[in-house]
Amino acid sequence: MTLHHLDGALLKNLVLAGAQNVINNQDFLNKINVFPVPDGDTGSNMSAAFESIAQDILRHPDDIALPDLCHHIAEAALNGSRGNSGAILAQFFQGFLQGVGQHNKIGLEKFAETACIAAKAAHDAISNPVEGTIITVMHDWAKWINEHWDKTASFTELFKQSLEAAKISVAHTPDQLKILSVKHVVDAGAQGFYYFLQGATEFLITQKLPKISIATDIFQKNFESNMINPALDQQTEHLHLAPHATHRNDLDHQYCTECIIHGDNLDIKSVKQKLARWGSSFVIVGGRNKIKIHIHTNAPDKVFRDANAFGELLETKADDMWAQYRANINFYLNKHVALITDSSCNLPQELVVKHNIIMVPLQMIINNQVYLDKVNLSATDFLEKLTDPDNTITTSQPAIADIKVAFNKGFRQSPIVIGIFLSDKLSGTYRSINQIAKQYEEDELYVYDSRNTTGGLGLIVLETAKAIYEGKSVANIKKSILDNIAYTTTFLSFSTLKYAIKGGRVKKTSGFIANFFNLLPVMKIASSGKPEKIGMSFGKNATQRKMIKAAIKYAKSFKDQELIITHVDCLETAQTTQKLLQSKFPQKNIYIVETTPILATHSGPGTLSISVLGKN
């Protein structure tokens, strides 16, 4: 059948066939991903965009009008895009929508014009375009079509011949980008776009649509795509093992950060000028009413703050690329257990990085705006919001999606995953995580209620990380977790009960009486998992002294122990406490960590805690 025009029905089949081909090859794309960062997720990100598109257009009839279909494709690509490559794809389809305009069908000449508009839109979305990537192949493919459309008889011939041009362009990417040449790979995004064109071309030749295997649960699909394929590893190990050992220093920015801004008459240029300064790999896609931002940055909180000034922030995420990189490396280093906790766990960041501890972020809602704990809100900005009486702040357990993402990262790193989480008596986090864990019944996933929080949870997690690092057996690790939970206690003192009352942790009547007499409690969280009052004192200083005395007494009841201090905006007090504890336990390295915002919400500035993990 000779095809001289593109309508909604034909475009729908082309996109579905191309999408399925990308999804089928996503493992290989993940393996050859070395630019802009070697985080091994280009295939997953492109698949996520195409899955979003496919799920949307499958709901519409085959006779859908071409402009309507293009609108649905562009919108679904924008909503489903993830990462650098996903964002570029989204803008390509935004440009395609612009090129089609209101035409219900287009011929070869109009298609050539539309392809050029789409390629240019993808190029213009990037603040610092780099040749030898997906945008190069988009440009070369569109240029070939624009120069040869009048020499081909049909869309089938146009796609067959232009596919060869795209193939040549992909093959030349290492000549344009040094890192690709060094690693002996082509650009993963460019190869992914070629797979899309290849799938579409195959449909035109055979007139047969492949089986569309779009997952109903995109997180499960991404989990499956991120599982290590042994046969594929043998093909690509030489690309990723030794070379990536030098990549860590190349990751100047830690977080792959994305958000969607919704508003009226959004000015893309103004948004770009304001946000691009915060990092690299900046991509902005969308239109006048909705914009999606992608950027690699060390300051996701500042990106979200500035983005919020332009309109309503609908979605935010900040993936730790350093952790993704370490997960890839750790697989090849045969790390036998992956470790997960939640953001209420307080540990020095260097230890989290060293042991590749995966964090599930809890959520804070400030004036109806959702923030991810430890991700998109700095401690300084949080304290300003916390102490502002006009702000309404509540906390929430992690989103189901974030829990699944953490589990999937863990299984990508290791066949065995252990998770240790915030006390069930303090939050619904553990219950939610336990429910999600039931979906992984066929996998080796072990989750534990720490019956603790802040530094106590941190010490339990750290001891587990050390056991994993030392190569201890899983049975030994599991036993030590239970022992550590049983002998870990966190002692707390407060400078005010204002925030505990506001958050509903202390009854208003009791709080009013305590505040009137300046009475403050000394609390502990032990193996029961519940906060227990162990004393009262008049004033902050007396309360702190009583708390420190109780912690020292408990620590001395063990032959060996580990200690950690956490605080909310009282570093000098924490440092004084550290000196005192160091004099009592001179052989110990006692860390000071700032309490995570999710916990500071309920305790307030001036809160001091000492956690002790006893060893018999």
The pLDDT score that the predictor gives to residue 349 is 85
Average pLDDT on 543-558 reads 96
Query: Residue 334: is its pLDDT beyond 90?
Result: no
Using CA atoms, how far residue 311 sits from 259, 264, 267, 308, in Å, is 11, 8, 11, 6
Q: Is 281 helix (H, G, I), strand (E, B) or coil?
A: strand
Bridge partners (DSSP) listed for residue 294: 258, 283
Please answer whether residues 140 and 166 qualify as being in contact, where contact means their C-beta atoms are separated by less than 8 angstroms: yes
The pLDDT score that the predictor gives to residue 6 is 95
The confidence band for 512, taking pLDDT boundaries of 50, 70 and 90, is low
Among 82-86, 264-268, 308-312, 337-341, whose mean pLDDT is lowest?
82-86
pTM of the model: 0.60
Bridge partners (DSSP) listed for residue 320: 255
Please answer whether residues 166 and 141 qualify as being in contact, where contact means their C-beta atoms are separated by less than 8 angstroms: yes
The pLDDT score that the predictor gives to residue 511 is 56
pLDDT digits (tens, 9 = 90+) for 224-246: 333 333 333 333 333 333 333 33
The pLDDT score that the predictor gives to residue 564 is 98
Percent of the chain beyond pLDDT 70?
Answer: 87
Average pLDDT on 386-414 reads 86
pLDDT digits (tens, 9 = 90+) for 76-132: 988 887 778 888 998 999 999 999 999 999 999 999 999 999 999 999 888 788 899
Distance between CA atoms of residues 565 and 483, nearest Å: 21
The confidence band for 492, taking pLDDT boundaries of 50, 70 and 90, is very high
Average pLDDT on 561-573 reads 95
pLDDT digits (tens, 9 = 90+) for 6-55: 999 999 999 999 999 999 999 899 889 888 777 677 888 899 889 999 99
The pLDDT score that the predictor gives to residue 129 is 86
The pLDDT score that the predictor gives to residue 229 is 37
The pLDDT score that the predictor gives to residue 335 is 67
Q: Is 533 helix (H, G, I), strand (E, B) or coil?
A: strand
The pLDDT score that the predictor gives to residue 324 is 64
Looking at per-residue confidence, does 180 or 498 come out higher?
180
The confidence band for 217, taking pLDDT boundaries of 50, 70 and 90, is very low
Residue 508: exposure state from Cβ atoms within 10 A (0-12, 13-18, ≥19): exposed
126 Cβ contact list (under 8 Å, min separation 6): 88, 135, 281, 282, 283
Structure tokens belonging to residue 159: 């796609």
The confidence band for 493, taking pLDDT boundaries of 50, 70 and 90, is very high
Percent of the chain beyond pLDDT 90?
Answer: 50
Query: Residue 528: is its pLDDT beyond 80?
Result: yes
**Local structure of residue 126 (DSSP, 8 states):** B
pLDDT digits (tens, 9 = 90+) for 250-287: 457 888 888 889 888 888 889 988 998 898 888 888 87
Average pLDDT on 559-568 reads 96
Using CA atoms, how far residue 319 sits from 259, 325, 597, in Å, is 12, 11, 19
The pLDDT score that the predictor gives to residue 518 is 67
Domains of the chain: 6-244 (1.25.40.340), 488-615 (3.30.1180.10)
The mean predicted confidence, pLDDT, of the chain is 85
pLDDT digits (tens, 9 = 90+) for 319-333: 777 766 665 555 445
* Highest mean pLDDT out of 343-357, 493-507, 563-577: 563-577
Average pLDDT on 489-496 reads 91
Average pLDDT on 135-164 reads 96
